[in-house]
Each structure stands twice: as C-alpha cells, then as structure tokens.
C-alpha cells in the first residue's frame, strides 16, 4: 500500500485512507487473513502473530515493484499497525 502527497503530512493522510479502506473492505468480506497470506505475510494458525514479508521476498513475487523501488524517487516510512483480529 502507499499514499502520496506534496508533503509528508499529505502522504501520511493519503496512506491512512488507503489503509483504513483496505482493512474495512477485507474485514467486511472476511478476506483479510487470506489476502495478507496471499501477499506473503506469515500468520500463525490462531492469528496471534503476523509477520510482514521482507522487501526481497516481495521483489521475487513482483518484478514491477522492484522497478519502482529502484527507479522512482520516494520516501519510505514504516508505521506499526496494531489491530485485533476476531
């Protein structure tokens, strides 16, 4: 997921909207866990621990992502997200 904007604040606001919509949609459709796993996230059987994929693993899955990462000018920020999975 990504957000964009002319300032860091606008990009963060954009990202928050994208994240909220993703969580809302996948939660309403009961597809969050399956979608995360489909994108390389590791989830324990009971959902107690969720581990994001390494960027190198994402590159193996998506050549276009590697092109974007290596050719485009952007800033990367990692923001921890905590949520309760029911």
Residues 64-70 have a mean pLDDT of 87
Tokens of 27: 């939660």
CA–CA distances in Å: residue 79 to residues 44, 45, 63, 67, 76? 21, 24, 24, 23, 10
CA-CA distances (angstroms) from residue 27 to 3, 13, 19, 58, 70?
21, 21, 12, 23, 33
pLDDT digits (tens, 9 = 90+) for 2-53: 888 898 899 889 999 999 999 999 999 999 989 999 999 998 877 678 888 9
Judged on CB neighbours under 10 Å (0-12, 13-18, 19+), 51 is: exposed
Task: Report the C-alpha gap between 20 and 31 in whole angstroms.
Answer: 15
Residue 80, pLDDT above cutoff 80:
no
């Amino acid at each position: 997921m990504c957000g964009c904007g002319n300032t860091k604040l606008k990009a963060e606001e954009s990202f928050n909207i994208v994240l909220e919509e993703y969580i809302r949609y996948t939660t309403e459709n009961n597809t969050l866990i399956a979608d995360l796993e489909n994108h390389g996230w590791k989830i324990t059987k009971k959902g107690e621990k969720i581990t994001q994929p390494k960027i190198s693993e994402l590159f193996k899955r998506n050549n276009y992502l590697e092109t974007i990462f290596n050719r485009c000018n952007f800033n990367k920020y990692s923001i921890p997200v905590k949520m309760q999975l029911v």
